Copies of this chain bind each other. A is one copy, B any other.
């Protein structure tokens, strides 16, 4: 366990709330929260997820700041508060798209005394807000770090805190590679869930559905403001990945429409190989 630090979490939603709870559960650090919603702050205080609301002093003295808000909110917060942070304070974020954010963050960090390390905890669920926060979603999950030029000691602190919180592995990458792969692993499934439930047959699914309907549609009811922003901030990679999927769906569609078994079986075997190889 590292020496006790003063940690400020900006945004006590699903992720920020879960980080607060995980830090209080597994470390001896002091954890303070900032949220526009006084109710979320009160709930977090009441259940012991934070030691209190972070005022100007707690922020000035913070060793680590977690930005758990929308990308534009994270940039706006640093624009306002970055210069007030102390020498060597580590600022890290949890945003789902990195390249756009990191460019802005690196520019802002140049004007302050703090260092910025980009992070992305690969965990979530289909509900949002502090009430949905739950540190168990982190257990065994990946924590992605894009160092963005930060010094090694700062990156190690972010890594250590992630392991303390229960994450199972730390993955290092660049903001650009992150966004390209995340378009496939996370953004496409969310677009897919939303497109899937728009079928008129969705209204008749009850009694005719089992696990596969549930799995594909699980994340169809998401926060439209947050996800629209994440999709648009990763527009290029996501559009490319959607084109890939639409193209591959079209190959299955053509094989099925043609009514010939062997080409269809070949496609299914190719998919089975990919799934077995990549897990």
Contacts and interface: CB of A to CB of B under 8 A. Distances in A.
B192 A249 contact: yes
Given A238-B256, A246-B253, A249-B191, A209 B221 contact: no
Interface of A: 122-125, 141-142, 144, 169, 171, 173, 178, 180-186, 188-213, 215-222, 224-225, 227-229, 231-232, 235, 238-239, 241-246, 248-253, 256-257, 259, 261, 264-265, 267-272, 274-279
Copies per complex?
Answer: 2
Contacts of A183: 201
Contacts of A123: 210
Nearest to A227: B268
Nearest to A268: B224
B213 A252 contact: no
A72 to B, nearest CB: 11
A248 B198 contact: yes
B235 A195 contact: no
A194 B221 CA distance: 23
B215 A216 contact: yes
A94 B124 CA distance: 36
Contacts of A232: 256, 259, 261, 264
18 contacts: A124-B210, A181-B208, A183-B201, A184-B213, A186-B208, A186-B210, A189-B212, A191-B252, A193-B271, A194-B268, A197-B274, A197-B278, A203-B277, A212-B218, A212-B219, A239-B253, A242-B256, A246-B249
